[in-house]
Amino acid sequence: YAIMLVPMVVARIGTIPFLASGGVALGIFFCYMQALARLGHDRYAGARRQIAIGMAVITIVTNAFYFLKVFPPLPLVLTQAGVYHHVERMDGDFQVSQEEVPARWRNLFGTYPVMHIQHGGKLYLFSAVFAPRGLTTHILHEWQWLNPAGRDWITQQRVDLGIRGGRESGFRSYSVKSAPGPGEWRVNIETADGRAIGRVRFSVEEQAVPPAVITKILK
């Protein structure tokens, strides 16, 4: 809880709030151990070494996971994301145009949406990211194309988006990619320092006529 408490109080995320959170956690643990020492001095004295080693291991592993970017960027949470043919803000909501989306169970077998576009068309990536009230930060939409020759992901575009906390369903924003080439694509939704919040996968196919789309409202 301390890891999330400090970013919420200072309305910031990053290395300094994380280290401050660790300091708060160690302070709380120290006070707890002092209470145990007074209530059960003999039992505490016998287990003090094991407790200290365990706390040191937890601290080292937690910090290692943070700096290796294994931990998700708490308290940011992706609540909604998708790729669309058009996104437009209308009366506080977002109107999007999309093709038929495959059933959720098909994603388990690696089947991702196929976006049919005309040559030189555009695609939009919409995301909603929850953040606590008062927190203001930046996220990135990293558009990547899978190189069929080397089977490596090549970054085509990185879009910086500001977000503000407080909305229960997440702060909504979107980015646009002009003329995405045919093939497999993914958009990584991440913090400015590269911590993953979420990812959207899809494929692109070109065709001569505009694709058939449906329109819906995202609240």
pLDDT, tens digit (0-9, with 9 covering 90-100), for 48-65: 778 778 888 888 887 787
In percent, the amount of the chain with pLDDT more than 70 equals 84
Token duo for residue 62? 């937690």
Q: Which pLDDT does position 21 carry in this prediction?
A: 77
C-alpha–C-alpha distance, residues 37 and 45, integer Å: 8
Beta bridge partners of 164: 136
pTM: 0.77
**Average of per-residue pLDDT across 80-101:** 91
**Average of per-residue pLDDT across 80-103:** 89
Q: Which pLDDT does position 133 carry in this prediction?
A: 84
Least confident piece of the model among 98-107, 125-134, 146-155: 98-107
| Most confidently predicted of 4-13, 57-66, 96-105, 203-212 | 203-212
Statement: residue 29 has pLDDT above 70 = yes
Q: Which pLDDT does position 110 carry in this prediction?
A: 61
Q: Which pLDDT does position 3 carry in this prediction?
A: 56
**Average of per-residue pLDDT across 185-189:** 97
Q: Which pLDDT does position 4 carry in this prediction?
A: 58
Least confident piece of the model among 11-15, 94-98, 111-115: 11-15
**Average of per-residue pLDDT across 190-206:** 93
- CA distances 113 to 75, 100, 132, 173, 176, Å, are 29, 8, 31, 20, 17
C-alpha–C-alpha distance, residues 126 and 202, integer Å: 13
Q: Which pLDDT does position 103 carry in this prediction?
A: 58
Confidence class for position 102, pLDDT limits 50, 70, 90? low
Q: Which pLDDT does position 126 carry in this prediction?
A: 97
